[in-house]
């Protein structure tokens, strides 16, 4: 069976956060963050989606794991995917114009069709840059597959069997089952992705991931027209009116704080 | 644009917080006024008892109820089918959801089916010229992105909790109520629930007082201090993501972008740096208190009161001080 994982390269959210906090984030007129000092890396949830695919493979399931990504200059990221254990990787050059999640989904749907379909599509729950998390849903509609979100674990008893997913819900874990083909998104609760070994890294370094263009894919009508475009991006301002409690040692600090909480009726004296 | 603004709420298995529905109605009203179009409230699942009252307060013109029993299962296929059929017959300019666990799944599916534009994590929707601009949180809340929606297709927006303060209309309306007949007998749910989630005990989302611990606690054993203070305050214990990921505490305790969105009166964060992804889940707290050994920790930019000290020394003293105060008038 073929397991397809979609991976997105994102700006390191921690670095973006650090610049945002220090007031030094540079955003151009089109809303793009332009700092070249911010590292680019694979979206963490997508790395966990690859991990979910590899765990299925480790469980003895006969499968091919293919990682696909839309973007320019993704060799390093795709080699990382190979070193983790992906069987195949492919890069898709983005189209000329602006991309939104509709455009991304249309391209991915066309690519899946071009390779003869997929049995299981795994994606990260959201990308840590725009946090939108809608591409998996749009892909599932485009491919006519059911969607299961927020997996903590993805298991398959055997080929041809339904896939069993434990979902992270606000009320605790929910176990569901779905027939393949299906789209499943992976949440952080899946756990740490594996580290590539040195030999795996060395082997991956020799591979030049194939690159497709959107012209080579039969993208559906209107599929390259974005439904939303980014008008601008900015860093929100914070109020910042913190009173730092002063006192001699933990006991006094605690008393001072509790006095303020009582004063503001946040906690009641006597219950 | 003449198509109305449709606010869609889903009373599925997990109840949508009424104040979030009202927030969506408040924003929906402002957009419908800006566009000069009607405001429709599409209630999916059993209609809440006070729904006519709430709608009137918010200037809703029409309430449309789709109450097929299949919609109370909380499963996606029936919901998406019902909403897409309704919107197929009654095209909308803007479809507004309040973002919950359930709508996070179905709103983009509806958008995909309708070929609509879609923006999640929205904080605001504004009318700009003849189109809509949607402001959404990005990078875990570190930035805001303003999206311009293409005209000529509907726009589906999911409004982040706590982003709009519910406000009644200046003059109430007298909404019409109609039951929308939708035949869902042919809909086959493709995802089958084998073992449902069982909500155990009180929910963080409802807590009035929350004490949250983070990586600064240093070790799993010290999380006990957080639980003790929560108990002393009559509140609930919560956590940042790293200590959930490391298995110190169950993921149902996680506050933040990928955890719970809370709105307590008091949020006390111990050993939490205040990363935006965490603050998304607690910035609606009336009062935030931070205990952190680093005076430059970002959490102090959100806090009303701060203690710069080792939380493992301060927490036991807070338990003592709180207990003394609570006992003082017994
Ligand atoms: C896409 C995405 C989604 C995310 N979702 C979430 C989410 O839902 N929830 C969430 O919480 N995080 C989330 N994160 C992670 C988030 O970015 C931060 O990494 C995380 O919140 C940090 O947790 P922390 O504050 O406990 O740890 P740290 O950032 O390591 O901070 C520890 C703090 O403790 C202080 N400290 C250390 N020792 C002591 C001591 N003895 N006494 C007092 N203070 C001490 C330090 O000064 C520091 O400020 C997400 C990240 C991404 C990229």
- What pLDDT score does B13 carry? 66
Do A247 and A193 have their domain in common?
no
Chain-chain contact of B322 with A258 (C-beta, under 8 angstroms): yes
| Domain limits for position B15 | 5-180
Q: What is the structure's pLDDT at B281?
A: 93
Q: Are residues A173 and A261 in the same domain?
A: no
Which residue's CA is the nearest one to ligand 1's atom 1? A128
Nearest C-alpha neighbor of B139 from the set A99, A136, A123, A21: A21
Mean pLDDT (10-residue bins), chain B, 330 residues: 90 79 97 96 90 96 93 89 96 96 96 97 95 96 95 95 93 95 93 89 91 97 97 96 93 91 95 94 94 95 96 97 81
B212, B290: one domain: yes
Q: Are B97 and B103 in contact (CB under 8 A)?
A: yes
Strand A120-124 and strand A2-6: the pairing is parallel
Provide the mean pLDDT of chain A: 94
- Whether B23 and B58 share a structural domain: yes
Nearest CA to ligand 1 atom 30: B215
- Is residue B240 located within the same domain as residue B321? yes
The count of structural domains within chain A is 2
A36-50 mean pLDDT? 96
Indicate yes or no: CB of B325 within 8 angstroms of CB of A251.
no
* Residue in the structure block whose two tokens are 């603004």: B5
**pLDDT band at A270; cut points 50, 70, 90:** low
d(CA B205, CA B200): 13
Inform me whether the pLDDT recorded for A163 exceeds 70: yes
In a domain, A231, yes or no: no
Residue B191 pairs in a beta bridge with A178
Q: Cβ separation of B138 and A233 shorter than 8 Å?
A: yes
Closest-CA distance of chain A to residue B171, Å: 33
Report the DSSP beta bridge partners of residue B36.
none
Q: How many CB atoms lie within 10 A of CB A176?
A: 21
* Domain residue limits at A269: 241-271
Please list every residue in chain A whose beta carbon sits closer than 8 Å to the beta carbon of residue B330: 270-271
Q: Is residue B199 part of a domain?
A: no
Residue of A nearest to B330 (CA): A270
Residue B305 within any structural domain of the chain? yes
What is the mean predicted confidence (pLDDT) over A255-270? 89
Residue A65 located in a structural domain: yes
pTM of the predicted structure, to 2 decimals: 0.90
A56/A176 same-domain check? yes
A 10 A CB-CB count for A1 gives 15
CA A210 to chain centre: 22
């Amino acid at each position: 069976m073929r397991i397809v994982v979609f991976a997105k390269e994102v700006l390191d959210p921690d670095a973006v956060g650090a610049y945002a906090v220090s007031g030094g984030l540079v955003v151009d007129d089109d809303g793009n963050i332009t700092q070249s000092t911010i590292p680019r890396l694979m979206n963490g949830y997508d790395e966990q989606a690859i991990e979910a695919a590899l765990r299925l493979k480790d469980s003895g399931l006969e499968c091919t794991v293919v990682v696909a990504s839309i973007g320019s200059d993704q060799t390093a990221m795709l080699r990382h995917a190979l070193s983790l254990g992906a069987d195949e990787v492919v890069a898709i050059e983005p189209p000329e114009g602006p991309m939104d999640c509709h455009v991304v989904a249309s391209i991915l749907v066309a690519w899946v069709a071009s390779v003869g379909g997929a049995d299981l599509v795994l994606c990260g729950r959201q990308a840590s840059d725009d946090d939108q998390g809608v591409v998996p849903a749009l892909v599932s509609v485009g491919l006519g597959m059911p969607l299961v979100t927020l997996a903590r674990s993805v298991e398959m008893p055997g080929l041809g069997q339904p896939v069993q997913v434990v979902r992270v819900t606000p009320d605790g874990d929910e176990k569901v089952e779905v027939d393949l083909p299906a789209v499943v998104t992976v949440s952080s609760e899946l756990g740490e992705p594996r580290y590539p070994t040195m030999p795996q890294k060395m082997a991956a370094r020799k591979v030049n991931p194939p690159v497709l263009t959107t012209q080579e894919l039969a993208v559906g009508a209107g599929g390259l027209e974005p439904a939303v475009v980014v008008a601008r991006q900015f860093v929100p301002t914070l109020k910042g009116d913190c009173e730092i409690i002063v006192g001699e040692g933990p006991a006094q600090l605690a008393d001072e704080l509790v006095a303020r909480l009582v004063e503001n009726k946040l906690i009641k004296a006597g219950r | 644009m003449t198509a109305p603004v449709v606010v869609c709420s889903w009373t599925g298995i997990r109840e949508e917080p009424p104040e979030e529905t009202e927030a969506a109605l408040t924003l929906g009203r402002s957009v419908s006024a800006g566009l000069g179009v009607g405001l429709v409230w599409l209630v999916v699942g059993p209609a809440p008892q006070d729904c006519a009252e709430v709608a009137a307060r918010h200037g809703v013109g029409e309430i449309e109820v789709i109450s097929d029993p299949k919609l109370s299962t909380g499963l996606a296929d029936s919901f998406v089918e019902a909403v897409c059929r309704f919107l197929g017959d009654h095209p909308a300019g803007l479809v507004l959801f309040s973002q919950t666990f359930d709508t996070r799944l179905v709103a983009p599916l509806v958008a995909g089916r309708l070929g609509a534009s879609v923006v999640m994590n929205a904080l605001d929707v504004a009318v700009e010229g003849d189109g809509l601009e949607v402001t959404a949180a990005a990078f875990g809340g570190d930035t805001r992105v303003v999206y311009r929606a293409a005209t000529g297709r509907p726009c589906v927006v999911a409004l982040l909790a706590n982003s709009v303060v519910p406000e009644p209309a200046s003059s109430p309306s007298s909404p019409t109520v109609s039951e929308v007949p939708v035949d869902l007998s042919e809909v086959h749910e493709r995802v089958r629930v084998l073992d449902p989630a069982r909500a155990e005990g009180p929910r963080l989302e409802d807590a009035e007082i929350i004490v949250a611990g983070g990586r600064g606690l240093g070790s799993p054993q010290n999380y006990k201090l957080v639980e003790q203070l929560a108990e002393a305050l009559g509140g609930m214990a919560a956590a940042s993501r790293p200590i959930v990921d490391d298995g110190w505490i169950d993921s149902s305790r996680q506050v933040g972008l990928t955890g719970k969105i809370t709105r307590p009166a008091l949020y006390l964060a111990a050993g939490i740096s205040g990363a935006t992804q965490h603050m998304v889940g607690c910035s609606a707290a009336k009062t935030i208190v931070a205990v952190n050994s680093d005076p430059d920790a970002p959490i102090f930019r959100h806090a009303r009161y701060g203690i710069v000290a080792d939380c493992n020394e301060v927490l036991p003293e807070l338990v003592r001080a709180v207990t003394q105060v609570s006992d003082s008038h017994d």
